Structure 1
Amino acid sequence: MSPESPQMPSYAQRRKQRIDALADASIDREPGVSLVRTAWRRLRRDPVFLIGLVITVSFIVLAVVSPWLAPWDPAARPLLDAVRPQSNPVPGPEAGHLLGGDDRGRDLLSRLLVGSRQTLLVGVLATFFGLIGGLVLGTLAGAFAGWTDSLVMRIVDVMLSIPSLLLAFSLAALATRPSQWTLIIAIAVVQVPVFARLLRGSMLGQRASDHVLAARSLGVKRRAIVFRHMLPNSVGPVIVQATLVLAVAIIDAAALSFLGLGNPDDRSPEWGQMLGKAQPYLGEAPHLAFYPAACIIVVALGFTLMGESLREALDPKTRR
């Protein structure tokens, strides 16, 4: 071979070049997409999620602006002169009163609008407090093995063994004076074991993950591993579950108010309370019960549709 001829690459060099070429051809040059963005791409094409989102957003906006949107004060009695116990106990619709009034001459539409705020307040606060309690118990059970996990899970099992509505009814009945906070606390306690068990299962799955094992091998403290690695990666399913629990909280609050365990002051209306007050007039004026019941059903359906769609979109097993 003459000195001017190019040197032939060796076998090892040719093999390396071939491997590099195959690697370059198989690499996707597009940037990676996060889990949230992937889920949103699916959700914005999902009609079930969009229907639930429209219902939920409409309910929240209506609850916020209801005091200014209501045509009458919910405690005022503009139709009192039209109430006649024998012939006309419940005034019907008329000019200025689209849905008529109740047995005390109060505007029904105004009470429905203002009652949406009270219903939203009870559902959101009960779900929030239940979520906080579930996060505490679930973190303790998932982060610490041994007797701590066993103790927390036995408490959760006892709470789950009692029907949720029965447990909430028992807790609310213990209050000497029913109030709105009675509903919130009773429903929040019922929701705690749901969040605790879900978070505990997610954190147990994170205990054996590679990044947690790597952090332990590097000597990272347990507190940092729990709050920086395990908890942030486990809380996603719990947040999604909160949207489903919110629908249940609204239904439970309405049930307890219907039974007389909510706020006894009907000057601050709430849909479940209105449903209970309408019970004596079901035969003469069924619309008094129909309107608040329909509002409860539609709002709970909206949160349920949105929560189920979120859970499917964020679940890696359901992705295609």
Structure 2
Amino acid sequence: MASARATKIDRLAGLAVRSPDDQDPDGAGPDSGLSLAASAWRRLRRNPVFIVGAVVIGLFLILAVLAPLIAPHDPGLRLLEDQVSRARNEIPPAQPGHPMGGDQFGRDFFSRMLLGSQQTLMVAVLATVIGLGGGLVLGTLAGAFGGWVDTLVMRIVDVMLSIPSLLLAVSIGALFSQQTQFTVILAVAIVQIPIFARLLRGTMLGVRESDHVLAARALGVKGRSIVFRHILPNSLGPVIVQSTLVLAIAILDAAALSFLGLGAADDATPEWGQMLGNAQDFFDSQPHLAIWPAACIVVVALGFTLVGESMREALDPRQRR
């Protein structure tokens, strides 16, 4: 009788192991013993949108990592400068050793596109990491303490969110006397902080009233332990998914800043947004100088967006079918 009672309790708790013939609500077979992450991964593997986005991101990462090894020439050397004609607005065409020709300064365009992927990835990742770190600090303060701390933090966040993100990034970038790659990263990162802070704060407020947190309080667990061992770890899932989406936004914002002339002044180290900005004077006669970096920015941003949206749907219980 004791065994039957234990089995009934396990079944009511959703922990009983099903037979192979049982089907879960998703119609994916027996997965009652799977964690949320494992169950989400099962759905992601069958999602063509996620697969397309993952392939795009994977190719982008491989290209960025191997770019210094693949690039045939130094992106800063003006190897084809003698073929540049400013008077006739001509640049070096495709030729042996230079499959995409040269740019307006006679530098190998193919090498600059390859090395530009590395710089674009670095700017997006660092900006997202810095923004995520700042958002975690503010969101944890607001969600853990509440009261006047929550009010103060959220009013600061509201002010930042009331300004369009690109306008805020441009304003921050314009404050620096010398434009560098770091100023672009910092400007984009600051714009992302309120997004992470508000999301983490809202998630923590929901987790703070959950049963296991109330039980920990009833047992006399210290407040700091409750925050860092129970509330915060269970609130990071949506934030991690959001960071994937923010990567796409960071790539677009960084490209916009570089296009507006707020990127690094030295273009010896290429970056796709910077290349796009430098090509605007030659768009009528040499449109490929702008089309290639613009297309790469759009495709990579789309890849991160597809993966982020797929992860959000897979981890959201309301999206299960």
In the TM superposition, structure 1's runs of 4+ consecutive aligned residues that sit over 6 Å from their partners are none
Cα displacement (A) at 1:28: 3.4
Q: Structure 2, unaligned stretches of length 5 or more?
A: 20-31
Matched, 1:277 2:266: no
Residue of structure 1 aligned with 2:17, choices 28, 40, 48: 28
Alignment pair present for 1:103 and 2:116:
no
When residues 205 and 163 of structure 1 are mapped into structure 2, their CA distance, relative to the original with a 3 A threshold, is same
- Partners of 2:7 and 2:236 in 1: CA distance: 39
Deviation string 1:238-286 (CA, Å, 9 cap, x unpaired) is 0000000000000000000011111110100000110011011011100
The answer on whether the counterparts of 1:247 and 1:299 sit within 8 Å (CA) in structure 2 is yes
Corresponding residue number in structure 2 for 1:156: 157
Return the alpha-carbon distance in structure 2 between the equivalents of residues 258 and 188 of structure 1.
18
The match for 1:188 is: 189
Q: Are the aligned partners of 2:245 and 2:304 in contact in 1 as well (CA < 8 Å)?
A: yes
CA distance 1:44–1:145, shift in 2 (3 Å): same
1:275-314 counterparts in 2 under 5 A?
Answer: 275-314=276-315
Aligned length: 305
2:232 & 2:258 partners in 1: Cα distance? 36
Whether the aligned pair in 2 keeps the contact of 1:257 and 1:272 (CA below 8 Å) is: yes
Matched letter for residue 61 of structure 1: I
- Which residue number in structure 1 is paired with residue 125 of structure 2? 124
Preserved CA contact (<8 Å) 2:89 2:285: no
User: 1:250 matched to which residue of 2?
Assistant: 251
Please show how residues 198-277 of structure 1 align to structure 2 within 5 Å: 198-277=199-278
C-alpha displacement of 1:76: 1.2
> Percent same amino acid at aligned positions?
64
Aligned counterparts of 1:284 and 1:88: Cα–Cα separation in 2 = 7
Q: 1:25 and 1:41, CA in 2 relative to 1: closer, same or farther beyond 3 A?
A: closer
Higher-Rg member (1/2): 1
Deviations 1:211-236 (A, max 9, x none): 10011111111100000000000011
Distance 2:256 2:91 in 1: 24
Give the Cα–Cα distance (whole angstroms) in 1 for the partners of residues 265 and 296 of structure 2: 21
Distance in 2, Cα, partners of 1:21 & 1:170: 63
TM-score of the two chains, using structure 1 as the length reference: 0.92
Distance in structure 2 (CA, Å) of the matches to 1:86 and 1:170 = 36
TM-score (normalised: structure 2): 0.91
> In the alignment, residue 171 of structure 2 is paired with which amino acid?
S
How far apart, in 2, do the equivalents of 1:280 and 1:286 lie? 10
1:23 Cα shift? 3.7
SS at match of 1:38: helix
Deviation at 1:317, TM superposition (A): 0.9
8 Å CA contact 2:135–2:195 kept in 1: the answer is: yes
Deviates more, 1:301-310 or 1:23-32: 23-32
Please tell me whether the aligned partners of residues 82 and 88 of structure 1 are also in contact (alpha carbons under 8 angstroms). Answer: no
Which amino acid in the other structure matches residue 81 of structure 2? L
Aligned to 2:232, the other structure's residue is in SS state: helix
Contact kept? 1:91, 1:101, Cα under 8 Å: yes
Q: Secondary structure at the match of 2:107?
A: coil
Tell me, what secondary structure is at the counterpart of 1:235?
Answer: helix
Report the Cα distance in structure 1 between the residues aligned to 2:181 and 2:314, rounded to whole angstroms: 35
| Aligned residue in 1 for 2:28 | none
Spell out, residue by residue over 1:187-206, the C-alpha distance to the aligned partner (whole angstroms, 9 max, x if none): 11000000000000000001
Distance in 2 between residues matched to 1:85 and 1:239, nearest whole Å: 48
